[in-house]
């Protein structure tokens, strides 16, 4: 049975509805309200995961899907578009938020819960999902803002001085990014006369180089800033260590990845030629992102600061994959993108596991300062094991997902003849290992230096908080061991992502003609349907 394409909107509508619903009880007694919001959030996250899983299954069966909101025909109304890449991202973000939920239940303080932590989870999810499935450039901007606003609130929830200070930087620098996105969308309309991404893809091919370059430049800065790529990453390390650890873990799996996803979505679709001509630029950005990120991690004194810098560093690998996405090589066009997607998924799993593990330590010991921690391996063997596997996965050791990603990217960059960036990635991989060893050794090895403050519940040992990490680590290992199915999956995703004709055809077959004139011939089926 084919479901109605309206289900495509569920990843947005469901969290929004439940979030809005849980805001209805603002005048209720705080404790009861929080209890209700917890349940609603759990419900929403679970339902979202179910929907995302279903969508992934569906798209693998039936190929890409598109849906016109309000049945306004394609270039005029807003399109939502689902292909394997989108569905994978929906599923990953759904999974991460679902796994973070029990951790949040266990560790979030009543104050933050009262200030609306749980509805905000739903709104963040809505923003991310909306940014994933949209097929309209301006709509992408809107959902970026939803995501951003939800993240602002989550970041500053609780309002401690460090949160506020990090928050201001985060907000202002991200606003610069979304400003560029807005301008990019505006210019796209101004020059191409349309906002629908399929339509843009059609018309962008005819646009002169200058127009392409301006739009691409603006979008690159916008998405790059969101992804914390090289010159625009400052917001991340100044803010990620400040909120509650759950929030950091969630952010690491969602926020920067939305930026990376947008790059993956937009560049092969709009600028296939620029991917070749701008390859040096992209690879330089990728290399610098890697190096700066990992060097930053070297100098960090606390768990979450260190891990935050690693987020940046790993983004560089994904950009490297994007840089060689369309390079011809023995592996075929698009293989670089496939591996970048694989790396993205790997990074989401592993980074979240690390931040959850580190967050549990931080919550339990009352500090994340490496020089004060030590010797936890004996009291928390399970937690230590999970952290170790995740750390080595991040450093790219076999048999984890990190190895497959690293190996594949190395092969594909070598095959594309991009030796310098491959060398940089190898070097950064070494630095990552050094840094992860340092992190692991200072937390878990050596003599115990600090005993946990009295009266603190030990989240590190609770079932609710270790299970999510365990699942994440197990998934990472599973990808590493059963690599071929995953490779096939991301290859499908990449081949759909670079298939511009397929995208356009799915959105509206009549757009494929090279239209300089208004596509007014496309009359709406809406006029008949909407007649009631």
Partner 1 sequence: MTEIYLRLVDRILTPILLLIAIFLFLRGHDLPGGGFIAGLVAAAAIELTILALGSAATRDRYGPWLAPLLGIGLMVAVTAALIGMAGGGFFLGRWIQFEVAGETLKLGTPQLFDLGVMLVVVGMAVTYLLRLSEAAETPPPSTKHRETRP
Partner 2 sequence: MLQRAPSKGLSASFALPKFSSSAHSPPLTENTSQTRKNTVLALCLTVLFVSAPLLWLLKPHRSFSFGWWAALPAAAVTLWQTLQLIPVGQGIFWVERYGWAPTLGLELALRLDGLALFFGLIITGVGTCIAFYTAHYFAGDPRQGFFYLLLYAFMASMLGLVWSDNLLALFVFWEGTSLTSYLLIAFKSEYKAAVDGARRALIVTTAGGLALLAGLVLLGLEAGTFSISGLLATPGIATAAVTPIALTLIFLGAFTKSAQFPFQFWLPGAMAAPTPASAYLHSATMVKAGIFLLARLHPAFSELPLWFWTLLLTGSFTMLLGSLSAIRYTDMKALLAYATVAVLGMLVLLLAFDSTYAYAAFVVTVIAHALYKAPLFLSAGIVDHAMGTRDLRKLAGLGRSLPLLAATVALAALSMAGVPPTLGYLAKELLLESGMKPLEQGQWLVGSLAYGAATLSALFMVGAILTLLWEAFFRRHPEEEGARLHHLPSFGFVAPALLLTLLGALGALAVDSVQNLLFAPAVAALAGEPVELHLKLWHGFTPVFLTSLAILGLGTAVFLARSPLRRLLNSLPAQLTSLFVYDQLVNALYRFAYRITTWIQGSPMAPQISVTLLSAALLVAYAFTHSSLASLPLLDSLEMPSLTEWLLCVLALFGALATIRARSRLSAIIALGVVGLTVTLFFLVFGAPDLALTQLLIEVLGIILLVLVFFRVRPDPDLDSGQGTSWRTISKLGMAAAMGFFGFAVVLINHISQVGESISPYFLENSYSIGRGSNVVNVILVDIRGYDTLGEITVLALAALGGYALLRSPQLPLLRRRIQMARRQNGAADQPTPPKTETGHD
Partner 3 sequence: MTALMLALLVGLLFACGTYLVLQRGQIKLVLGLGLFTHAINLALFGTGRLTRGAPPLVDGETVKAAGSAAALFARYADPLPQALILTAIVISFGMTAFIVMLIFRRDALTGSDLLPGELAAVVNTADPFAKFTLRMQLPEAADDYDLLQYELDEVYDYPEREVENARE
Enumerate binding residues for partner 1 (CB under 8 A): 4, 6, 9, 13, 16-17, 19-27, 67-71, 526, 529-530, 532
Applying the rule CB under 8 A, the residues between 406 and 435 that interact with partner 2 are 407-408, 410-411, 414-415, 422-423, 426-427, 429-431, 433-434
Cβ closer to partner 3: 51 or 439? 439
Q: Which residue has 């025909």 as its token pair?
A: 73
Q: How far apart are CA 211 and CA 270, in angstroms?
A: 12
Q: Which two tokens stand for residue 256?
A: 């920067």
**Which of 24, 32, 39, 162 is close enough to bind partner 3 by CB under 8 A?**
162
Q: Is 449 helix (H, G, I), strand (E, B) or coil?
A: coil
> Does 280 contact partner 2 by CB under 8 A?
no
Segment interacting with partner 2, rule: CB under 8 A, options 36-44, 91-99, 147-155, 317-325? 147-155
Contact string (CB under 8 A) for partner 3, positions 274-293, x = contact:
--------------------
**Which of 7, 30, 63, 169 is close enough to bind partner 3 by CB under 8 A?**
169
Find out whether 421 and 323 touch, Cβ atoms under 8 Å. yes
Q: 42 CB contacts (<8 Å, ≥6 apart)?
A: 101, 105
- CB 168, min distance to partner 1, A: 18
Applying the rule CB under 8 A, the residues between 24 and 83 that interact with partner 2 are 69-70, 72, 75-78
> Does 149 contact partner 3 by CB under 8 A?
yes
Question: Which among partner 1, partner 3, partner 2, none contacts residue 185 (Cβ within 5 to 8 A by kind)?
Answer: partner 3
Find out whether 27 and 86 touch, Cβ atoms under 8 Å. no
Question: Residue 357's CB: how many other CB atoms inside 10 A?
Answer: 33
> Does 526 contact partner 3 by CB under 8 A?
no
Q: How far apart are CA 59 and CA 65, in angstroms?
A: 7
Cβ closer to partner 1: 19 or 166? 19
Cβ closer to partner 3: 162 or 488? 162
Q: 439 CB contacts (<8 Å, ≥6 apart)?
A: 303, 306, 307, 358, 370, 391
Among candidate residues 120, 104, 106, 126, the one with its CA nearest the CA of residue 155: 120
Applying the rule CB under 8 A, the residues between 357 and 416 that interact with partner 3 are 367-371
> Does 273 contact partner 2 by CB under 8 A?
no
Vertex 259: Cα angle to 255 and 262 (nearest 5): 135
Question: Residue 520's CB: how many other CB atoms inside 10 A?
Answer: 8
**Backbone phi, then psi, for 243, in 5-degree steps?**
-80, -175
Q: Which two tokens stand for residue 161?
A: 């001085």
Can you list the alpha helix ranges (DSSP code H) found in 134-160? 137-156
- CB 206, min distance to partner 2, A: 5
Cβ closer to partner 3: 95 or 150? 150
Q: 105 CB contacts (<8 Å, ≥6 apart)?
A: 38, 42, 464
Contact string (CB under 8 A) for partner 2, positions 1-20, x = contact:
---------------x---x
**Which of 46, 69, 106, 165 is close enough to bind partner 3 by CB under 8 A?**
165
Q: Is 448 helix (H, G, I), strand (E, B) or coil?
A: coil
Applying the rule CB under 8 A, the residues between 412 and 471 that interact with partner 3 are 438, 442
- CB 220, min distance to partner 2, A: 7
Question: Which among partner 2, partner 1, partner 3, none contacts residue 24 (Cβ within 5 to 8 A by kind)?
Answer: partner 1
**Backbone phi, then psi, for 461, in 5-degree steps?**
-100, -5
Applying the rule CB under 8 A, the residues between 149 and 178 that interact with partner 2 are 149-150, 152-153, 156-160, 168-169, 172-173, 176-177
> Does 447 contact partner 2 by CB under 8 A?
yes
Question: What is the b/e burial string over 317-350, where b = at least 16 CB atoms within 10 angstroms of the residue's CB?
Answer: bbbbbbbbbbbebebebbbbbbbbbbbbbbbbbb
Q: What element of type H or E holds 60? A: helix 30-62
> Does 23 contact partner 3 by CB under 8 A?
no
Q: Which two tokens stand for residue 316?
A: 């560089």
**Which of 175, 333, 471, 474 is close enough to bind partner 3 by CB under 8 A?**
175
Cβ closer to partner 3: 35 or 187? 187
Question: Residue 532's CB: how many other CB atoms inside 10 A?
Answer: 3
Q: How many residues touch partner 2 (CB under 8 A)?
A: 141
> What 8-state DSSP symbol labels residue 82?
E
Q: How far apart are CA 373 and CA 19, in angstroms?
A: 39
**Backbone phi, then psi, for 80, in 5-degree steps?**
-115, 145
Q: Which residue has 């050791």 as its token pair?
A: 397
Contact string (CB under 8 A) for partner 2, positions 338-377, x = contact:
----------------------------x----xx-xx-x
Q: How many residues touch partner 3 (CB under 8 A)?
A: 46
Segment interacting with partner 2, rule: CB under 8 A, options 126-134, 316-324, 356-364, 501-509? 126-134
Q: What element of type H or E holds 68? A: strand 65-68
**Which of 39, 382, 426, 518 is close enough to bind partner 3 by CB under 8 A?**
518
Question: Which among partner 1, partner 3, partner 2, none contacts residue 426 (Cβ within 5 to 8 A by kind)?
Answer: partner 2
- Residue count (the chain): 532
Applying the rule CB under 8 A, the residues between 198 and 227 that interact with partner 2 are 199, 203-204, 206-214, 216-218, 220-221, 224-225
Q: Which residue has 């603190």 as its token pair?
A: 456
Cβ closer to partner 2: 272 or 366? 366
Find out whether 471 and 96 touch, Cβ atoms under 8 Å. no
Q: Interface with partner 3 by CB under 8 A: which residues?
A: 138, 142, 145, 149, 152-153, 156, 159-162, 164-169, 171-172, 175, 179, 182-183, 185-187, 189-190, 195, 238-239, 242, 298-299, 301-302, 305, 367-371, 438, 442, 518, 520
């Amino acid at each position: 049975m084919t479901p109605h394409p309206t289900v495509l909107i569920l990843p947005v509508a469901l969290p929004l509805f439940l979030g809005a619903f849980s805001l209805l009880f603002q005048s209720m007694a705080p404790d009861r309200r929080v209890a209700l919001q917890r349940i609603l959030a759990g419900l929403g996250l679970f339902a979202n995961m179910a929907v995302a899983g279903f969508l992934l299954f569906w798209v693998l069966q039936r190929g890409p899907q598109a849906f016109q909101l309000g049945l306004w025909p394609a270039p005029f109304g807003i399109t939502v578009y689902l292909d394997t890449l989108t569905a994978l991202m929906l599923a990953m973000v759904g999974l991460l938020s679902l796994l973070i939920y029990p951790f949040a239940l266990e560790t979030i303080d009543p104050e933050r819960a009262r200030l609306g932590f749980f509805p905000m989870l739903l709104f963040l999810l809505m923003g991310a999902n909306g940014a994933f499935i949209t097929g309209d450039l301006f709509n992408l901007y809107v959902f970026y803002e939803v995501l951003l606003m939800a993240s602002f609130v989550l970041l500053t929830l609780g309002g401690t001085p460090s949160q506020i200070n990090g928050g201001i930087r985060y907000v202002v620098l991200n606003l610069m990014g979304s400003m560029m996105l807005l301008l990019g969308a505006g210019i796209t309309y101004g020059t191409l006369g349309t906002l629908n991404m399929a339509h843009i893809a059609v018309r962008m091919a005819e646009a002169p180089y200058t127009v392409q370059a301006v739009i691409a430049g603006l979008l690159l800065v916008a998405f790059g800033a969101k992804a914390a790529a090289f010159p625009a990453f400052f917001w991340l390390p100044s803010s990620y260590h400040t909120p509650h650890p759950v929030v950091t873990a969630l952010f690491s799996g969602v926020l920067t990845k939305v930026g990376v996803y947008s790059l993956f979505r937009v560049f092969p679709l709009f600028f296939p030629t620029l991917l070749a001509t701008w390859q040096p630029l992209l690879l330089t950005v990728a290399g610098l992102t890697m190096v700066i990120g990992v060097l930053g991690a070297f100098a960090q004194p606390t768990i979450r600061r260190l891990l935050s810098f690693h987020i940046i560093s790993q983004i560089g690998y994904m950009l490297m994959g994007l840089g060689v996405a369309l390079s011809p090589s023995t592996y075929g066009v698009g293989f670089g993108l496939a591996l970048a997607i694989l790396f993205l998924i790997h990074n989401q799993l592993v980074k979240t596991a690390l931040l959850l593990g580190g967050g549990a330590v931080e919550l339990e010991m009352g500090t994340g300062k490496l020089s004060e921690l030590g010797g936890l391996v004996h009291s928390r063997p399970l937690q230590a094991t999970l952290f170790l596997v995740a750390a080595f996965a991040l450093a790219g050791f076999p048999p984890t997902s990190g190895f497959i990603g690293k190996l594949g990217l190395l092969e594909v960059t070598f095959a594309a003849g991009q030796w310098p960036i491959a060398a940089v990635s190898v070097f950064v991989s070494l630095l990552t290992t050094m840094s992860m060893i340092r992190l692991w050794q200072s937390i878990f090895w050596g003599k115990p230096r600090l005993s946990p403050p009295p009266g603190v519940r030990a989240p590190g040992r609770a079932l609710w908080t270790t299970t999510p990490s365990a699942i994440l680590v197990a998934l990472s290992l599973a990808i590493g061991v059963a690599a071929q199915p995953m490779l096939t999956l991301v290859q499908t995703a990449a081949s759909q992502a670079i298939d511009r004709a397929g995208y356009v055809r799915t959105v509206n077959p009549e757009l494929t003609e090279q239209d300089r004139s208004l596509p007014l011939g496309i009359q709406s089926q809406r006029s008949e349907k909407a007649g009631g």
